[in-house]
Structure 1
């Protein structure tokens, strides 16, 4: 069998393992990665690099920073304040946190970082209202993922330039992407996402965690109150970390460096004891991410994306250039593929295909390119989609089956809204 066939079989078994619930997600994830290595689908050295992946280190650092922040009274006071303002209303509370998560996701290109900033306060508010993490984490996570980089601020300000780079590299300069075009195309979905995640998503969320969440694991023994210096240090470090993450490019640092420095500062200032910092590391989540990234990389390197992308041009010819049908094809296939491959890799495959397709018929590729971006940034159904999903699953206590149950309706909404709006505003003709 070819490496591609073997990789697809391992992937299918991985999904079955996730849904079975017999073993932990981390166990299934690592078994799949080792199967890829033993079958020759992945080089052992390449597999080892996933343990030091930027996202893995960044998430580990952010979890320690969040644990330190959780020890302060500020986190509890803000959470209680939001709970009071919401007057016991779950929808009002979710609207506040979803809005904060969405805004952070415009300035920080990584949804996992936005989630790491907001989740501690959300969980504190949920606890004060007698709610489990499983009821509130999924809506916040989806909002930070789907709305990421929609507005032309922060990381979103570079989206148009990136898309134009694809056009320039292909040499098709008849149409260019305006700086506001990505926002115009994705803004309706941003609005609908905030509304859905605030007022409807919780209806599909389980009342109790399906599997033990990291929040449950870490609850238990009471802790001694922090001294005034430690209290203020914990608050300052958390918000300094958040600001630094927003301005990472300006200060010339990578996200993982910022979160690791923040984690060390929490220990050095006495907000967390070394043993507490170590205990706050979500090892199961980190191993899940390692295995998911490895599977994503293997699917990409063995040619799964190219194989699927190669058949699209023929399909486009058969629908006689209908903007909405072609738009649906260029949304649904990248959307599905990004559930098993990282969004950046999927975009690298499909942007050239969209440009080549439009160049061959003299069409405008702007709508398709924005649609592909929307599809790839709307992946939230599996832990392979983006690093934010394993974090979401571990914090909320979700298994793969519960993720599908919560995801399917909004996935349809994402498709209908994105295709319907973008292909109307940016038609092929």
Structure 2
């Protein structure tokens, strides 16, 4: 193993230990890891600097402000009152309702961070009205946001099979995937993640109280309703941003997703929905720095050759005539474990060629294996390194690393076993 890879993995393990110890702020740990990677040559200075301008960083910061603008309006309270009425004042029934709403939004919104940004202000206000801590609910919402995004043949999920078939052709694979095939492979993850979010996670989640300071609570009580124009703009900007993201593929290439969110944040301030001071309060920096550092850690793992080392290790383990059960278990375990520490899309993109090459070599139908790998890499919520939605969830839920493991480990293990058995019996590579 090259020395650079050894250094990178050593720093990575130390970073994880510090995450678990909870002795230092998580953003400090991740940013320190970035600095060490640069100093040791595992990460080029230019690559480290690019993490600050990463599109996800801009999206996160911008959506903080846009969501803050929505929070400033009366819409959140109106939705909360409606949910409170439908649930009869029951927190559990309200959580079931919001979990189903999140599942529906996840089928049309293209990313977990967007889904969670839409839902968490509504859920936080519902918690306030029920005298419950937001920490009891936020993990449930992010769990569904990550695990079920575009899982049903609705929106972009309705055309994913076309992309898959086109990709398979480039590898010489003659099998064809149908529109409903991905959804059928995803069923264990969809069902289990929603059930755990509804009934298990709220019970084991910590209770950190209000999560608001006395000053913030006083400011919330003293805030006067916005005038009709700013109230309308608070709604309109948020809805416009969401719709623009949903149809971003139809927009000119000069208007990427991060620009949509950025424009929404600027308009929120320019129209007076949020004052400059309120916007800065909404722009919560710790999760942003946590993600920047986490992004650098993932980039260093790739740049140091750890990704290549992983792919070669998989091929050497499988050998020339691998057992189909071994293949299924191995790819799920590798995808599930590694996705906790690096970008899920980056990992999926890195492992997909290995899966397709193997299927082409052995004449296997990749429907089960390929879609299972996608879900393995999107069962990513046990560490702040996994996906950008987790640092945001940790901020609004007040979570520590140990809380993520406490709430998420049993659902993750259950989902893992269910997927392996489901694919092995129903969609085996053959």
Q: Using structure 2 for the length normalisation, give the TM-score.
A: 0.93
Aligned equivalent of 2:79: 78
**Contact map agreement 1:218 1:280 (CA 8 A) in 2:** no
Instruction: Tell which deviates more after alignment, 220-229 or 263-272.
Output: 220-229
1:375 aligns with 2:386: no
**Contact map agreement 1:334 1:376 (CA 8 A) in 2:** yes
Distance (whole Å) between structure 1 residues aligned to residue 261 and residue 348 of structure 2: 27
Aligned equivalent of 1:281: 283
**Contact map agreement 1:214 1:394 (CA 8 A) in 2:** no
| SS of residue matched to 1:310 | helix
C-alpha distance 317-215 of structure 1, shift in aligned 2 (>3 A) = farther
1:159 aligns with 2:173: no
Aligned equivalent of 1:290: 292
**Contact map agreement 1:164 1:176 (CA 8 A) in 2:** yes
**Contact map agreement 1:214 1:282 (CA 8 A) in 2:** no
Distance (whole Å) between structure 2 residues aligned to residue 192 and residue 215 of structure 1: 35
**Contact map agreement 1:313 1:357 (CA 8 A) in 2:** no
Deviation at 1:100, TM superposition (A): 1.7
Distance (whole Å) between structure 2 residues aligned to residue 23 and residue 216 of structure 1: 25
* 1:317-328 equivalences in 2 (<5 Å): 317=319, 321-328=322-329
Deviation at 1:219, TM superposition (A): 4.3
Instruction: Tell which deviates more after alignment, 278-287 or 414-423.
Output: 414-423
Distance (whole Å) between structure 2 residues aligned to residue 384 and residue 215 of structure 1: 28
Distance (whole Å) between structure 2 residues aligned to residue 278 and residue 286 of structure 1: 13
**Contact map agreement 1:60 1:282 (CA 8 A) in 2:** yes
- CA distances 1:93-116 after superposition (whole Å, capped 9, x unpaired): 112211222222221221101100
**Contact map agreement 1:300 1:341 (CA 8 A) in 2:** no
Distance (whole Å) between structure 2 residues aligned to residue 398 and residue 290 of structure 1: 18
**Contact map agreement 1:111 1:144 (CA 8 A) in 2:** yes
Distance (whole Å) between structure 2 residues aligned to residue 358 and residue 231 of structure 1: 55
Distance (whole Å) between structure 2 residues aligned to residue 102 and residue 399 of structure 1: 25
Aligned equivalent of 2:27: 26
**Contact map agreement 1:305 1:337 (CA 8 A) in 2:** no
C-alpha distance 201-119 of structure 1, shift in aligned 2 (>3 A) = same
C-alpha distance 217-25 of structure 1, shift in aligned 2 (>3 A) = farther
- CA distances 1:47-97 after superposition (whole Å, capped 9, x unpaired): 111111111101111111111111111111111221222123222111221
1:397 aligns with 2:398: yes
Distance (whole Å) between structure 2 residues aligned to residue 377 and residue 162 of structure 1: 18
Aligned equivalent of 1:140: 141
- CA distances 1:326-380 after superposition (whole Å, capped 9, x unpaired): 2121111111111112112211222222222233333222211111111011111
Deviation at 1:164, TM superposition (A): 2.9
Deviation at 1:409, TM superposition (A): 0.4
Distance (whole Å) between structure 1 residues aligned to residue 94 and residue 325 of structure 2: 37
RMSD, matched Cα:
2.0
**Contact map agreement 1:139 1:197 (CA 8 A) in 2:** yes
Distance (whole Å) between structure 1 residues aligned to residue 251 and residue 263 of structure 2: 14
| SS of residue matched to 1:311 | helix
Distance (whole Å) between structure 1 residues aligned to residue 366 and residue 111 of structure 2: 26
C-alpha distance 305-424 of structure 1, shift in aligned 2 (>3 A) = same
Instruction: Tell which deviates more after alignment, 84-93 or 293-302.
Output: 84-93
**Contact map agreement 2:173 2:360 (CA 8 A) in 1:** no
Query: Match for 2:264 among 262, 270, 295?
Result: 262
Distance (whole Å) between structure 1 residues aligned to residue 401 and residue 281 of structure 2: 25
- CA distances 1:137-191 after superposition (whole Å, capped 9, x unpaired): 0010010100012112222234223333442332x22323223211111033212
Distance (whole Å) between structure 1 residues aligned to residue 424 and residue 250 of structure 2: 35
Aligned equivalent of 2:240: 240
Unaligned runs of 5+ in 1: none
Q: Using structure 1 for the length normalisation, give the TM-score.
A: 0.94
Distance (whole Å) between structure 2 residues aligned to residue 313 and residue 45 of structure 1: 32
Aligned equivalent of 1:49: 50
Aligned equivalent of 2:194: 194
Unaligned runs of 5+ in 2: none
Distance (whole Å) between structure 1 residues aligned to residue 63 and residue 380 of structure 2: 22
Deviation at 1:317, TM superposition (A): 4.1
**Contact map agreement 1:382 1:400 (CA 8 A) in 2:** yes
| SS of residue matched to 2:107 | helix
